[in-house]
Structure 1
Amino acid sequence: MKVQNKVVVVTGGGSGMGRELVLALLAKGASVAAVDINTSALEGTRELAGANRDKLATYTVNITDRGLVEALPGQVLSRFGTVDGIINNAGIIQPFVRLKDLDYAAIDRVMNVNLFGTLYMTKAFLPHLLARPEAHITNVSSMGGFLPVPGQTIYGAAKAAVKLLTEGLNSELQGTNVRVTVVFPGAVRTNIMVNSGLDARQPAKGEAGSFKTLMPDKAARIIIEGIERNRERVMVGNDATLMDAVYRLNPQRAARFIYNQMSALLPK
């Protein structure tokens, strides 16, 4: 789906990769509904939109609140008249600890934001997308959604669920006007630590690896290119691309590699 003159909803639009997705979509001629839990972060995105801000609407929404999410399509339709695509980008990581040391409050929060937030958004907007001549759903999983990362087991489980949710949805929507993309970012340089409510001195996802982190604006361009080419799977970053190939060939070797990269960062 070409994004020019389309209306696209982006969650997590207040910072990081979500903000860059918003700005890139606006630059390509799309209208954007940016959704985030942080009002001031959304205002920052609006300021950066510059001359394109007339095509931007912002909504402060906690995507784990199903009632608020179900009200969102009506608000977007009231502002833009239609909606052609959603990008479920919002996500948080867990504290960098083993499962035995992770409390249930953190587990619930990670699952609710990453999985149920994506599910609620998809369910709420799908009927409206099906009514369009063409439409697109993009869900952001993670390299950690197909590859085990010590210290991010629950995060990985949530993102693996997003992966299969998206792939199942893609199968269900065969023969319709709605195309579906699942995105697997590797290490992207964002402020996900702070947004996840964690100590910024903790190791970020992928920080200890031998791969360089990708700048969020480049990640956003890769994702939008994938949408415009109607790709079903999009790898973001050399690390995601390489580890996807290695994991397909030898899952045990790939898991050992990530363990050796990351295990030293876990609390003893």
Structure 2
Amino acid sequence: MELKDKVIIITGAGQGLGRQFALDCAANGMKVALADIDAEAMEKTRKECEAKGVEARGYELNVTREAEVEAVYSQVVSDFGTLDATVNNAGILRDSLLVKEKDGEIRKFPLSKWQEVIDTNLTGV
């Protein structure tokens, strides 16, 4: 499959796997649309992709907000003229169990924090 000049959007592109997906796609000649809630990290990845000689654009995006997702995807199509692929990579991790025991005491993880994880990792995008 020829990847050169194909357009891909990658969510969570500012760090971790999303960043690596972006760099690998750029290394294969793909045009990359980078979406992340962390604009600074996304911008760093964008510059690294551009250094590989491809068109790279960044979009600040919170994947839990449907209207933002729709707006960013529309903007990507407007900016690049098409969209060939998506990597729905955005995700968060909270270092906790819903309920855990520590030092003989039962501690609860706030349900609101748990819901952030579910909204981002399962519902988002």
Which contiguous aligned blocks of 4+ residues in structure 1 show a shift greater than 6 angstroms? none
Quick check: 1:95–1:102 contact (8 Å CA) kept in 2? Answer: no
Q: Give the match for residue 67 of structure 1.
A: 67
Letter in 2 for 1:49: C
Structure 1 residue 54, shift from structure 2 partner:
4.6
Q: Whose strand proportion is higher, 1 or 2?
A: 2
Question: Normalized per residue, which structure has more helix?
Answer: 1
Other-structure match for 1:115: 122
Question: Residue 96 of structure 2 aligns to which amino acid in structure 1?
Answer: F
**Does the Cα contact within 8 Å between 1:11 and 1:87 map onto a contact in 2?**
yes
How many residues matched?
118
Partner secondary structure for residue 34 of structure 2: strand
Distance in 1 between residues matched to 2:50 and 2:77, nearest whole Å: 23
User: Hey, what does 2:42 align to over in structure 1?
Assistant: 42
d(CA) in 2 for partners of 1:70 and 1:102? 32
Structure 1: give runs of 5+ residues left out of the alignment. Answer: 122-268
User: What CA RMSD, in Å, does the superposition of the two structures yield over aligned residues?
Assistant: 1.7
For CA contacts below 8 A with separation 6 or more, give which structure has more relative contact order: 2
Q: Look up the equivalent residue of 2:12 and give its one-letter code.
A: G
- Note if 1:106 corresponds to 2:106: no
State the 1:73 CA deviation: 1.9
Note closer, same or farther for the CA distance 1:54–1:6 as it changes in structure 2 (3 Å cut): closer
> Per the alignment, in what secondary structure is the counterpart of residue 95 of structure 1?
coil
AA in 2 matched with 1:105: S
State the distance in 1 between where 2:48 and 2:121 align. Answer: 26
In the superposition, the TM-score normalised over structure 2's length comes to: 0.85
SS of the residue corresponding to residue 32 of structure 2 reads strand
Could you tell me how far 1:59 is from its partner in structure 2? 0.2
Q: State the shift of 1:44 in Å.
A: 1.0
Contact map agreement 1:10 1:33 (CA 8 A) in 2: yes
Taking the aligned partners of 2:54 and 2:3, their CA distance within structure 1 comes to 17
Matches within 5 A, 1:1-268: 2-52=2-52, 54-99=54-99, 101-117=108-124, 121=125
Given that residues 98 and 111 in structure 2 are in contact (C-alpha distance below 8 angstroms), is that contact kept between their aligned partners in structure 1?
no
Q: Which residue identity does 1:108 align to in structure 2?
A: Q
**2:103 counterpart residue number:** none
Q: CA deviation at 1:95?
A: 2.7
Amino acid at match of 1:80: F
* Amino-acid identity (%): 37
Task: Please give the alpha-carbon distance, in whole angstroms, between the structure 1 residues aligned to 2:50 and 2:31.
Answer: 14
Aligned-pair CA distance for 1:72: 1.6
Amino acid at match of 1:55: E
CA distance 1:50–1:82, shift in 2 (3 Å): closer
CA distance in structure 2 between the aligned counterparts of 1:77 and 1:90, rounded to whole angstroms: 20
Residue by residue over 1:38-93, the C-alpha shift from the partner in whole angstroms, topping out at 9 and shown as x without a partner, is 11001111222243365111100111111111112210011110001100111112
* Offset at residue 94 of structure 1 (A): 2.5
Partner of 1:217: none
- How far, CA to CA, are the matches of 1:84 and 1:50 in structure 2? 19
* Per-residue CA distance 1:100-133 (angstroms, 9 max, x = gap): 622111111001100111xxx3xxxxxxxxxxxx
